[in-house]
């Protein structure tokens, strides 16, 4: 399916050691929204198919860390629904990043979790080969996205920035979960361009996602970014995601 963005839509979700999915409703809502943008039909029995797929995960997970694994739910153009499981990586913080050219998707594709994820996989591999941890996509001197996470930047004026879909940002379930806590901490959220000047004067730059959690970036292409310590943005985001995950797992166990 790689090579054709319209071949499928997917979402990758945290999965605990029992096969329970965190933030399932939010992930399904995003998948359906992105399917609509990619002109993919949602089968009438989609909820039943999702339930069946998730039930097959129960008891399959061996790693006991939380979130121990990642489950990717995919809907194809033909209406097939599948779910696959993979072990989560051990991520370090802070991370070193490299910049790579943005894939330049069309407006109907930009910002969606579509069927051609090869450029993201290639970008991640490029980062590893360069001795870094993650790749940031850049277009016209602005960071648009990361290979497996969503960048959030804290400006020196105390406001935070996240790229919107028009500027290449992919709608992030993880970001949507932690943004209310960031705003509650007194940090207004802006959506727009994470341009070069903004990066240069940033206090903090983090990336967030289902697999990566919350990780601070302290180096891009050998240039230092922000202060060399976890600040209010990183600490608030980590605490908010940990709390949300804990409540999600506890909710599953109480059902």
Q: Identify whether residues 150 and 66 lie together within a single domain.
A: no
Which of 88, 103, 130 finishes a domain?
88
Q: In this structure, what are the phi and psi dihedrals at residue 23, rounded to the nearest 5 degrees?
A: 60, 35
Same domain, 123 and 61: no
Quick: pLDDT tens for 89-109.
Answer: 878 899 999 999 998 888 889
**170-198 tens-digit pLDDT:** 889 999 999 999 999 999 999 989 999 99
Q: What is the pLDDT of residues 125-150, one digit of tens each?
A: 999 999 999 999 999 999 999 999 99
What is the maximum span of the chain, computed from C-alpha positions, in angstroms? 51
| 206 domain-assigned | yes
Residue span of the structural domain in which 83 resides: 5-88
> Could you read off the pLDDT tens digit of each residue along the chain, which spans 255 residues?
457 999 999 999 998 877 789 999 999 999 999 999 999 999 999 999 999 888 877 655 554 444 468 899 999 999 999 988 888 887 889 999 999 999 888 888 988 999 998 999 999 999 999 999 999 999 999 999 999 999 999 999 999 999 887 777 788 999 999 999 999 999 999 998 999 999 999 999 999 999 999 999 999 999 999 988 999 999 999 999 999 999 987 765 555
Question: CA 211 to CA 208: how far, in whole Å?
Answer: 8
Q: Find the length of the chain.
A: 255
Identify whether 254 is part of a domain.
Answer: no
Final residue belonging to a domain, choices 53, 88, 123: 88
79 and 24 belong to one structural domain = yes
The 3-state DSSP class for residue 64 equals coil
Residues 117 and 224 in one domain: yes
């Amino acid at each position: 399916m790689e090579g054709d963005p319209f071949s499928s839509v997917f979402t990758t979700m945290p999965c605990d050691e029992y096969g329970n999915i965190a933030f399932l409703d939010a992930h399904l809502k995003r998948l359906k929204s992105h399917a609509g943008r990619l002109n993919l039909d949602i089968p009438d029995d989609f909820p039943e198919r999702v339930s069946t797929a998730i039930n097959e995960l129960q008891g399959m997970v061996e790693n006991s860390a939380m979130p121990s694994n990642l489950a990717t739910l995919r809907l194809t153009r033909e209406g097939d629904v599948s779910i696959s499981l993979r072990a989560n990586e051990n991520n370090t913080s802070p991370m070193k990043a490299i910049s790579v050219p943005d894939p330049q998707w069309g407006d109907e594709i930009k910002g969606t979790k579509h069927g051609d994820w090869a450029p993201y996989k290639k970008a991640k591999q490029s980062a590893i080969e360069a001795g870094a941890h993650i790749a940031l996509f850049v277009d016209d001197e602005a960071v648009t996205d990361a290979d497996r996470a969503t960048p959030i930047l804290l400006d020196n004026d105390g406001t935070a920035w996240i790229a919107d879909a028009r500027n290449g940002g992919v709608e992030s379930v993880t970001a949507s979960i932690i943004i209310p806590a960031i705003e509650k901490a007194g940090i207004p959220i802006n959506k727009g361009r994470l341009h070069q000047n903004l990066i240069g004067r940033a206090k903090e730059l983090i990336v967030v996602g289902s697999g990566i959690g919350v990780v601070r970036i302290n180096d891009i292409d050998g240039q230092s970014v922000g202060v060399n310590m976890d600040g209010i943005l990183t600490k608030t985001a980590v605490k908010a995601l940990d709390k949300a995950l804990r409540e999600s797992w506890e909710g599953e166990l109480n059902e």
